[in-house]
Amino acid sequence: MTPSSQPIRFYHRGRIVAVSGVHPTRSVLDWLREDARCTGTKEGCNEGDCGACTVVIGEKARPGDAGSVGGLRLSTVNACIQFLPTLHGKALFTVEDLKAQCGRGPDPSLGEKHPVTRLHPVQQAMVDCHGSQCGFCTPGFVMSLWSTYEHHCEGETRPTRQQLADDLAGNLCRCTGYRPILDAGQRMFDLPGVRLDTEPVLQALSTLERGDTFDYAAPLGQRMDHFHAPSTLAELAALRLAKPTAQLLAGSTDVGLWVNKQFRDLGDIISVGDVAEMKRIEEQGAGDTAELYIGAGASLEAAYQALTRRVPSLTDVWLRFASPPIRHAGTMGGNVANGSPIGDSPPVLMALDAEIELRKGDRVRRMPLADFYIDYMKNHMEPGEFVQGLAVPLAALQRQVRVYKISKRFDCDISALCAGFAISLDGDVVKEIRLAYGGMAATVRRGGRAEAALTGKPWTQANVNAAKLALAEDFKPLSDMRASADYRLQVAQNLLQRLWLETRTVDPLPVEATSVWSVMPHLVGEGA
């Protein structure tokens, strides 16, 4: 540790721990298993897909936080792609903590002289319902269920079976099957309750609070790599200007894979995770300039929740965007800045005429998100500049909005293509229309020719057919492992047809006729 470096300090297993000397890109999972010897957390895919490494991060709830547990904000995350310095000032809960919550007691079959470790209601329910077979994925399921248990006990509610399935969308099981695990999720609320005592956690987190930049450093060979975590937007802007080549880090849901799978050397890192100003989501302005502002550091979960509250038709893409642990850690600003042609947020935001807000030092500028991308993984950001926020005009939220995600798996999968559509009609004439596609080109972009074929014309099948032909001029998709070029183009045209069927002025199809959600409760109940 260099003289200027601070140790990584966080709450774990009932006490504050301080870690120094490990590289800034060491994962929480590797530290748990190899250094802390907490081997309950498992490594499966090592890329945030399987959920075997699921842990829960605790932070002091901010004013206005909904769903806090005893003053704590509890979030499931994938330990395999979280860098250890991101834990600084937070609490880390693993499957070992459930044992500590329950303590020891007499074995009912042997009497008081033979105490045994009691199981937490979540664990006992898994035993009672035969929810574990090989057991490898079980700790991850248990931690996701524990988070659900704490949140619903706090609110004195019980999740539906579908809500349990949504909460477990990031936990994969390949031998037990999901029916007994969902049974356990319902059963755990029937057992004698065991709650997390949040008071000592909050006291510990209070001692860890700080108001300055957290600087951590550790050697890599002869080089010293730094991890900077500023606490204010001004500090972030100054640090980014001073270190324009440092790697910006938000939720690590993409950058973590660069290290684990591509073995990239990141060098110095600047984390935005401690900048509260970057997490604000609020309506601002008035009249024609009124907008929903989403800070670039706001989690995907919070951002989609805010959008869906205003546009319920976005619920489907919200719940199918990766998994809860990914949405809790990842940010919408990071998803946009990443520039992936198959990112699911840009099609939604482009359909809503969103602007991207960029900052360099004290200078702040905006541009339409539709103009931000230049080519594959290239954009208009300058050296020393970063994404500060996203702004969605409130007027755009009044349009009829649809987002369709096409992937091989229904939950927790990468899109073959994603379409974000928004339409305003004046009688039966198309006043405005936005057709944004991901997975159809080197960048997410709008179909300009198809939009022109519809704007100002009657919303009819004939004109939709003409727009479908125009899509073939707008996009020349590629073939890859997720879909062929022909499939992508056909599906892109079919989704435009679906938009028309759902929004036509005469006999539009109801939601239950086009959405799988109308039959999902039945399927989940059957254990399919």
DSSP H helices in 103-159: 121-128, 138-155
Instruction: In whole angstroms, give the CA distance from residue 211 to residue 465.
Output: 58
Instruction: For residues 356 and 439, give the distance between their C-alpha atoms in angstroms, rounded to a whole number.
Output: 21
Structural tokens at position 500: 């028309």
pLDDT at 526 (0 to 100): 45
Beta strands in 61-185 (DSSP E): 72-78, 91-93, 104-107, 111-117
Nearest to 31, CA basis, from 12, 16, 6: 12
On whether the CB atoms of residues 178 and 171 are closer than 8 A, the answer is: no
Q: Are strands 223-229 and 214-220 parallel, antiparallel or unpaired?
A: antiparallel
- Cα(288)–Cα(10) distance, rounded to whole angstroms? 46
Please give the pLDDT value at position 512: 81
Residue with tokens 């229309």: 433
Which of the following CATH numbers is that of domain 121-193: 1.10.10.10, 3.20.20.210, 1.10.150.120, 1.10.3720.10? 1.10.150.120
pLDDT at 213: 93
The CATH architecture to which 8-96+200-271 belongs is Roll (3.10)
For residue 70, is it left (φ>0), alpha (ψ between -120 and 50) or beta? left
Backbone φ and ψ for 201, nearest 5 degrees, come out as: -65, -45
d(CA 270, CA 247): 6
Q: What pLDDT, on a 0 to 100 scale, did the predictor assign at position 521?
A: 55
Tokens, residue 485 = 């070029």
Please report, for the chain, the start and end positions of each structural domain, with discontinuous segments joined by +. 8-96+200-271, 121-193, 280-517
Please give the Cα distance from 265 to 258 (Å, whole number): 9
- Buried b / exposed e over 225-260, threshold 16 CB at 10 Å, is bbbbbbbbbebbbebbbebeebbbbbbbbbbbbbbb
- Give the domain 280-517 fold: Enolase-like; domain 1 (3.30.390)
The secondary structure element, H or E, covering residue 214 is strand 214-220
Q: What's the distance, Cα to Cα, between the start and end of the chain in Å?
A: 52
Q: Running along the chain, 528 residues long, what does each successive block of 10 average in pLDDT? A: 76 97 97 97 95 97 85 97 98 93 64 72 97 95 98 96 95 92 98 96 95 92 94 97 97 96 96 96 95 98 97 94 96 95 95 98 98 95 97 97 93 92 97 97 97 98 98 95 95 97 95 73 47
- Please report the pLDDT score of residue 528 as a whole number: 37
**3-class DSSP assignment, residue 438:** strand
**pTM, to two decimals:** 0.93
**What local confidence, expressed as pLDDT, does residue 246 receive?**
97
The alpha-carbon radius of gyration of the chain (Å, integer) is 24
